Every structure is written in C-alpha cells, then in structure tokens.
Structure 1
Amino acid sequence: HQTGIVANLLDGDFLADRPNQKWAGDISSIWTAEGWLYLAVVIDLFSRRVIGWDVSDRMKKDLAIRALDMAVRLRDPAPGCFFHSDRGSHYGSHDFQKKLLAHGLLASMSGKGNCFDNAAVETFFKSLKAERLWRQNWSTRREATV
C-alpha cells in the first residue's frame, strides 16, 4: 500500500442509481499563448454533469481541492458518496485525502496503469476538447477561462 494510494472501490462500475452516489475527478490541460491552463473537474456519475471545477496556471493539489470544495458546496453529499480519481499526486496528497474524509466521501483510485479506470472523466475531457477547445487559440489564460 503506497502512501496516498487507495483501493479501486468502483472497479470500473461508473453507473449510479441516484445523484451524489458516485463522483469522479481529474485534471486536464489547455494551451494558451501564456502557457498551460489546468482544469480540474468533479463529475456526478449519475447525471454526468460537472458539479465542481477550477482552473489554475499550476497543477497543484489546491486545484483539485478547490474543484472538490465547489462540488461539496453545490451538492452537500451524504456520507458514503464515492470520489474516484486517478493516482495523481494531487489526489493522493494528505490534504486532499483529509478533505475527502472531512466530507464523508469514500476515496477510490484507478488501478496502476489502467487508463480506462477513469473513463467517465476522460470522456468528458475528450468531448470538451473536440467540441470547444481544439482549433482555438487564446492569448491569455483568462481568455480561455471565460
């Protein structure tokens, strides 16, 4: 058991019977003339809607925490809601894991080297990039955010 790594509790089951039963999160990057802009999202696997998000010029744990905080403020999930992510250091950080515990969320992480274990969020990013971001040029990170 590596530090910050938790079991894959969802085990590929991305279907949910009701809202706030299973959430998933990830971070992706968007190129601008100023450099990379990082987008963290939290998706409710019942509706496949983004319920929390944040952007930053740095991919740090605070980015993932702010997206999670937004989702918790919006949805106020009951204890026992799953939060699934990849094994990124931001999700495995002590601060992020402590935040999950404080909100009663059950941590679940993708299996080692298995890109399909977070397919729901990867699919969202693929659609976002194909429909809204590809072939776009932004001068600034702020321009890409709005």
Structure 2
Amino acid sequence: MTSPHLRLVGNITCLPDFEGWLYLATVIDLHTREIVGHAMAEHMRTDLVCHAIDLAAARGFIDDDAVFHSGRGVQYTSGQFRAALAE
C-alpha cells in the first residue's frame, strides 16, 4: 500500500459495561493503521457500521477508489451498508 485512504477494514467488537454491553464499530486505514471512523451503540444493527463509515468519509479518510474489507456479518453484507459505501 503506497498511500493512505485506499485500503480500509472494518470490525465490530463488544465491550462490557456496568449496564450490559456496548458495541464498537471501527474503520481502520491499513496504510497508517489508524482508526479513521468509529461508532458506539447498545446494538449491533447495520446503523452502527454505517455511522462508522460515514464518520470516516466525513473526515476525508476515504478516497473514491478505496477498497473496504470486513467480515461477512449481516451488518456488512446488507444493502444499507452497500449504499453507505457507494455514497
């Protein structure tokens, strides 16, 4: 990878808190290894990963020809998330 903003990966992790679980979705730039987008919620719905990718895009961390990789969870394979990536 020769420049940032071209190869991104996403993941969701769960974090225990005093009231149950929080879910953290991250978008990581493989070139810089920085977290360029994130979102946290009490659920793992598709909105969670969409908010993370939206933040990365709003911050200017995604090039038009970027490639995004994630696991094959329903959040990442949904039409809603594909639409968020297309934006």
TM over 0.5, yes or no? yes
Aligned to 2:84: 99
Percent identity over the alignment is 36
Aligned to 2:73: 88
Unaligned runs of 5+ in 1: 1-15, 103-146
* Higher fraction of strand: 2
Whole-angstrom distance in 2 between the partners of 1:77 and 1:60: 22
Return the TM-score normalized by structure 1: 0.57
- C-alpha displacement of 1:48: 0.2
- C-alpha displacement of 1:62: 0.2
Deviates further, 69-78 or 79-88: 69-78
Aligned-residue CA RMSD in angstroms?
1.0
Unaligned runs of 5+ in 2: none
Return the TM-score normalized by structure 2: 0.94
- C-alpha displacement of 1:78: 2.7
Whole-angstrom distance in 2 between the partners of 1:60 and 1:32: 19
